[in-house]
Structures are given as C-alpha cells and as structure tokens.
C-alpha cells in the first residue's frame, strides 16, 4: 500500500512540475496540426511582418485566411501565408520561400520554409497545384513566437493544395488554399 501511495504522490508531483514548466504549451501541446484554408487575396504591403516588428522580404505577397484545427475542423484563429523569392522551373513547377503566420488564441507563431509547388497531374479536382515544404529534422524554421510560443523552436512541415486559376500576380488576386501544417515545437 505504501508503494502505491508513493507512486501516486510521485505522479502528482511530476504532472504538477510539467504543467508549471509549460511543457504542454498551455494546452496546445508540442505537436500541432492546423490548416490554412480558404481564399486569400494578394496583399503586397508586408503588414503582417511589420505588425510583429519583422522586416518583410522584397516583393512579398501575403494571403490572409482562417486557421483551422485539423482534428475538429473548427476555426481557431487566423493565418497568413506570405510568398517571396518566387522562381520557376522548366517543368512548370515553382520554388519559393513561404513565411507562415499562425495567430492562435494564446499567441502567434511564425515559420519560414522553402516550398516546392508543382502542377496537379491527376486527382484533386478543383486545385491546380500541390505544395510542400519539409525542413531538415534538426532545422529550426520557427522565426518568431509570442504568448504561449515565446522562445519556441522547432520545425513546421507543409503539405497542401492550392487553386491558382485566378491568380495573375496582381494586388487582390485570389489563391484558394487547403494547406496542412504539422508544427513540432
């Protein structure tokens, strides 16, 4: 009986210490899966960067949309996908740098990744391109955090679909996003 009581006391102390240390990031956890989903309209002002004291890259196009919990489908905040350093390949693909802003109820997290965008070859009707960014396992591509994410470090992986049918690289041009982000912090 003493052994069970000691074990339970140890577990209560351990849980209390982990909770106090913020190991659970305020209830969100250290593995977060979200979607940036919806139609975003090209904004070339760089406001998303400047609001956080960050310097926007040259020729950046930002697209604001809903931040959606991948598990529940509920909108839990807002996000922006800001695209810069766009280059084109001979195969119809696009290479770019994406700075992704995730505005959660308890704080903001910003990541930067190198993205490959390729035309959809089959399936996925309603989307024109498949997107992806995979950081190296030891790479920290979190460039900003506040609130629950202050001093956060880790990797953010992207897999997604976009419809660029009506996008002509002009202000206000739309892109439809359905992008999954796996955030490990």
CATH architecture of 29-184: Beta Barrel (2.40)
Q: Give residue-wise pLDDT tens across range 148-163.
A: 999 999 999 999 999 9
Residue with tokens 């982990």: 18
For residue 27, pLDDT beyond 50: no
Q: Give residue-wise pLDDT tens across range 66-95.
A: 999 999 999 999 999 999 999 998 877 899
pLDDT of residue 105: 95
Question: Environment class of residue 17 by beta-carbon count within 10 Å: exposed (0-12), middle (13-18) or buried (19+)?
Answer: exposed
Q: Does the CA dihedral 94-99-103-107 come out positive or negative?
A: positive
pLDDT band at 20 (very low <50, low <70, confident <90, very high): very low
Q: List, in order, residues 6 or more apart from 69 with CB less than 8 Å away.
A: 34, 35, 75, 76
N-terminal to C-terminal alpha carbon distance within the chain: 39
Supply angle C-alpha 167, 131, 112, rounded to 5: 95
- Looking only at the bridges linking them, the beta strands covering 129-133 and 107-119 are antiparallel
Cβ–Cβ under 8 Å, residues 140 and 151? no
């Amino acid at each position: 009986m003493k052994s069970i009581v000691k074990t339970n006391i140890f577990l209560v102390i351990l849980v209390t210490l982990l909770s106090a240390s913020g190991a659970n990031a305020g209830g969100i956890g250290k593995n977060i899966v979200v979607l940036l989903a919806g139609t975003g309209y090209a904004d070339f002002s760089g406001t998303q960067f400047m609001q956080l004291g960050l310097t926007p890259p040259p020729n950046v196009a930002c697209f604001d949309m809903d931040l959606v919990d991948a598990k529940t489908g509920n909108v839990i905040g807002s996000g922006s996908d800001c695209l810069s350093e766009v280059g084109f390949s001979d195969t119809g693909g696009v290479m770019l740098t994406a700075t992704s802003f995730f505005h959660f109820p308890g704080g903001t997290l910003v990541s930067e990744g190198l993205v490959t965008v390729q035309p959809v070859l089959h399936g996925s009707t309603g989307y024109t391109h498949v997107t992806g960014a995979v950081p190296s396992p030891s790479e920290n591509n979190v460039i900003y955090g506040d609130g629950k994410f202050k001093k956060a470090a880790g990797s953010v992986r992207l897999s997604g679909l976009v419809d660029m049918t009506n996008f002509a690289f002009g202000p206000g041009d739309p892109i439809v996003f359905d992008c999954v982000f796996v955030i490990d912090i």
